[in-house]
Amino acid sequence: MAKITFIGAGSMVFAKNLIGDILSFEALEDSTLALMDIDEQRLAQTTAVAEALVENGDVGATIESTTDRREALEGADYVLNMINVGGTEPFENEIRIPERYGVEQAIGDTLGPGGIFRGLRTIPTMLEIAADMEAVCPDALLLNYTNPMAIVCWVMFEATDIETVGLCHSVPHTVDAIAEYIDVPSDELEYWVAGINHMAWFLECTWQGEDVYPQLQEALKDEGTYEKDTVRFELLDHFGAFVTESSHHNSEYHPYFRTDSESIEQLAGTNYAGRMPTATYLEGWLERSEERDNAHAEFDPEDVSIERSEEYASRLIHSLETGTPRRLNLNVDNEAGHIQNLRSDACVEVPCLVDGTGVHPCSVGTLPPQLAALNRTNVNVQRLAVKGALEGNRDAIHQAVTLDPLTAATLSLEEIHEMTEELLEANDAYLPDFS
């Protein structure tokens, strides 16, 4: 049976969901699950949960647990990556230093100064993982969940020989949101979605054969519905398409929404009250981190049961192992021109057909020009961040931050340069060497 390795398994809740997903398939329930993390306490927590899932579900999976990455990777068929490199200090720097300059990020894990520097501190470890995989499991498929998704995957495409796909739940979550806004069952929606991670576009969306966009246009006119998803409804209104990822994520990928405190407060609406302000994700992450540190004492093995979430990983592995055909939205290399009006070296998120023969990205053709233009504003930043990391090019990092849409809308060139230098200095211990 398949060996499935989890790198960063100390992310207990997420790892539990993915393990439960895998064990929910009869064809995968005898797999070997190798759990690896550098944090012994959190690894022990996840291992205990995994063993309880196996016992309570009466399945034949083998659970292995180690802090040795190469040992966990030895002979793996699939590698699930969910690492967080550096912990609290660099994360706080990535949010709080830009905040002092006026760049107010809600999340800071995908684009902006936070996303760029999160990528920079993650890339050296990703290259080490790739080197280990090339040595002990060169044919394994890497399933990446770590953000910034596009930057991390782009590095793997460009600098390694490891087959990599990026997985994100933003498409199924957005399907649920659309279904709620137009009051139809989410499992009855048909859709065709493409773009980049966290900014992919519902190019088609139908219910019972009818286009739902007229209903979405009506929904945004309803104040109560509009306030549930202010940024995404504004993008729909002005650019003509509904986008993946939430409003608090998308608010920081564009130059229109977070340039002053009054605008940020207005964006919150009723549903996002308390979630749109600066450092939302950082503060929540710190709180969850404290809870995770105490989770083992509160863990009750009898309460753990195998359930299947909306995450793609188990479905992808099941299709590859059994030949069951599925279509999933995945992050892949655009070398073959899946989206013709985005860069050929970009990481794009497109529908992919998956079966026993592999992962086959679909050809989308060209995006509507206004949607491709919005994607390019983010792809430009990603390209320079990857270049800076792989070449040790300090100027490229400065240029990446300077081209970030939110930063450019908020600060002068000199202020951006000063902020970037401060970030480079503050997080020097976690970053590649820059010339």
Catalytic machinery residues: 169
Phi, psi of 365 (to 5 degrees): 80, -135
DSSP state of 86: S
Q: Where are the alpha helices (DSSP H) in 222-294?
A: 223-226, 230-239, 247-250, 261-268, 280-293
Q: Where are the alpha helices (DSSP H) in 81-229?
A: 88-101, 112-136, 149-159, 170-182, 213-221, 223-226
Q: How many CB atoms neighbour CB 161 within 10 A?
A: 10
Torsion over CA: 90, 94, 99, 102 (sign): positive
Q: Is 287 helix (H, G, I), strand (E, B) or coil?
A: helix
CA distances from 384 to 85, 333, 380, 404 (A): 21, 16, 7, 11
- The structure tokens listed for 56 are 């309570």
Distance CA 294, CA 41 (A): 10
CA distances from 182 to 102, 200, 211, 234, 235 (A): 37, 20, 12, 17, 17
CA atoms within 13 A on the CB side of 134: 11
Distance CA 188, CA 179 (A): 9
Rg (CA), the chain: 21
